[in-house]
C-alpha cells in the first residue's frame, strides 16, 4: 500500500496510471475547493471535474461536428445521385430517346401533320429554350452559306434565294413560349394578334446570311404563307429585325387561300422564274417551303419541332 497525499489529477493515459511527469498538469492543490483523500488502485487515474468537463465537452463537440459532416455529405451525395439517376431514370430516358426520335423523324418529313404530343412537349420546350435549336439552326444556315458562296452571281439583280419568314427569318419564340411550344392547337385569331404586334425576333444566323447575300449581289425573295393584308406589319417587323433591301416580299392573295403551301409556294417560284429570276436555293423551316418545282439546286431545311404546315 502506497500513499500519495500530494498527488493530483492527470490526463488519462492508456492503462497504467499517472506518472510523475504529468502531476503538475491541471493541478488544483490548495485550490479554493477543499481536498480529500480517496483510496485508489495502483493503476487508476483521477480527473478533476474541470478536466472531465473539458474532455466531455471536447468529445461532444467533435462528435457533433463529425455527425453534422456525415449528415451534410450524405445529403449532398443523395441530391447529387438523385438528379440524373433517379428512380424514374429509365422511364425518363425512354421518353427523351423517343422524343429525340420524334424530332429527327419530323425534321426529315417522315412524320407529317403532327402536333407536339403531351409526352414530348417539355422535351420540345427544352430543345427550343436550351440552345440546341439555335445550334441546329446555325448548322443549317452555315451549310446554306457555304453553298451560296459558290453561286456565280451575274450582278444583274436576278440571282435570288427564296426564303420563308416565320421560323426562318423571324423567330416567334415569345408567342410559342406562351402557347406550349406547339403542344396546343393553332388558333388563327390569337396568332393574327401576335403578327400585328410586329414582335417577331431576328434569327441572327439568317440575318447574317441575308447580309452576306446582299454583299454577293444575290437577292432575297421573302415568300410567306401570311396573307396579303399583313404586308405592312410583316414588312415593318422585318425591318425592325434588321432586314433591309430584300428583292421581293410575296404574301398569299385571297384567291390562294385554298391552296396547299407546296402549291402556293411552287407557283409563286415559277412566276418569279418566268420574270427572269434565277432561284438558286430555297430556305424554310417547313418541307412545304422546299418541295415542288423551282426550289433551286439546293434547299435547306431549318429546324422547327413546334408546328407542321402542309
The C-alpha cell that represents 278 in the structure block: 434565277
- Residue 131 CA: distances (Å) to CA of 41, 126, 127, 302: 78, 8, 7, 15
Site for a second copy in 63-92 (CB under 8 A): 63, 66-67, 69-70, 73-74, 76-77, 80-81, 84
Residues forming a β-bridge with 252: 227
Nearer to a second copy, 21 or 39 (CB): 39
200 to 219, contacts with a second copy by CB under 8 A? none
Among 150-158, 236-244, 265-273, 295-303, the segment contacting a second copy (CB under 8 A)? 295-303
Do 140 and 306 touch, CB atoms closer than 8 A? no
Lookup: cell for 289: 417551303
User: In whole angstroms, how close is the CB of 6 to a second copy at the nearest point?
Assistant: 6
- What b/e string do you get for 129-144 counting C-beta neighbours within 10 Å, with b at 16 or more? eeeebbebbbebbeeb
Least distance (Å) between residue 162 CB and a second copy: 16
* Distance of closest approach, residue 166 Cβ to a second copy, in angstroms: 18
Q: Reduced to 3 states, what is the DSSP secondary structure of residue 220?
A: strand
What stretch of H or E contains 114?
A: none
Of 22, 46, 191, 248, which one interacts with a second copy (CB under 8 A)?
Answer: 46
At 124, phi and psi to the nearest 5? -65, -40
Rounded distance between C-alpha atoms, residue 167 and residue 172, angstroms: 7
Hey, which residues between 139 and 158 contact a second copy (CB under 8 A)? Answer: 139-140, 143-144
Binding segment for a second copy (CB under 8 A), chosen from 134-142, 152-160, 171-179, 258-266, is: 134-142
Question: Can residue 275 be called a binding residue for a second copy (CB under 8 A)?
Answer: no
CA end-to-end distance (rounded Å), the chain: 109
- Min CB(179)–a second copy separation in Å: 24
Nearer to a second copy, 252 or 305 (CB): 305
Query: Is there binding between residue 33 and a second copy (CB under 8 A)?
Result: yes
Amino acid at each position: 500500500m502506497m500513499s500519495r497525499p500530494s498527488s493530483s489529477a492527470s490526463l488519462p493515459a492508456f492503462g497504467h496510471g499517472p506518472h510523475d511527469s504529468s502531476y503538475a498538469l491541471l493541478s488544483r492543490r490548495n485550490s479554493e475547493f477543499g481536498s480529500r483523500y480517496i483510496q485508489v488502485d495502483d493503476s487508476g487515474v483521477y480527473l478533476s471535474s474541470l478536466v472531465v468537463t473539458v474532455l466531455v465537452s471536447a468529445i461532444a463537440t467533435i462528435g457533433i461536428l463529425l455527425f453534422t459532416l456525415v449528415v451534410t455529405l450524405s445529403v449532398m451525395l443523395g441530391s447529387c445521385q438523385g438528379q440524373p439517376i433517379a428512380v424514374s431514370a429509365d422511364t425518363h430516358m425512354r421518353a427523351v430517346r423517343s422524343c429525340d426520335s420524334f424530332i429527327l423523324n419530323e425534321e426529315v418529313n417522315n412524320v407529317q401533320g403532327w402536333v407536339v404530343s403531351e409526352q414530348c412537349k417539355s422535351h420540345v420546350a427544352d430543345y427550343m429554350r436550351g440552345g440546341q435549336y439555335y445550334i441546329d439552326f446555325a448548322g443549317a444556315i452555315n451549310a446554306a452559306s457555304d453553298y451560296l458562296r459558290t453561286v456565280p452571281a451575274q450582278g444583274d439583280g436576278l440571282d435570288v434565294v427564296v426564303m420563308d419568314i416565320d421560323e426562318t427569318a423571324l423567330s416567334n419564340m415569345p408567342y410559342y413560349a406562351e402557347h406550349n411550344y406547339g403542344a396546343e392547337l393553332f388558333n388563327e385569331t390569337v396568332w393574327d394578334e401576335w403578327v400585328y404586334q410586329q414582335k417577331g425576333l431576328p434569327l441572327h444566323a439568317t440575318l447574317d446570311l441575308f447580309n452576306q447575300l446582299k454583299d454577293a449581289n444575290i437577292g432575297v425573295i421573302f415568300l410567306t404563307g401570311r396573307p396579303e393584308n399583313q404586308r405592312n406589319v410583316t414588312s415593318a417587323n422585318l425591318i425592325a429585325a434588321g432586314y433591309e433591301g430584300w428583292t421581293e416580299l410575296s404574301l398569299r392573295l385571297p384567291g390562294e387561300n385554298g391552296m396547299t403551301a407546296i402549291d402556293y409556294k411552287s407557283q409563286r417560284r415559277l412566276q418569279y422564274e418566268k420574270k427572269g429570276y434565277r432561284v438558286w436555293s430555297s430556305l424554310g423551316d417547313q418541307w412545304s417551303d422546299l418541295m415542288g418545282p423551282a426550289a433551286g439546286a439546293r434547299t435547306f431545311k431549318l429546324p422547327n419541332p413546334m408546328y407542321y404546315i402542309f
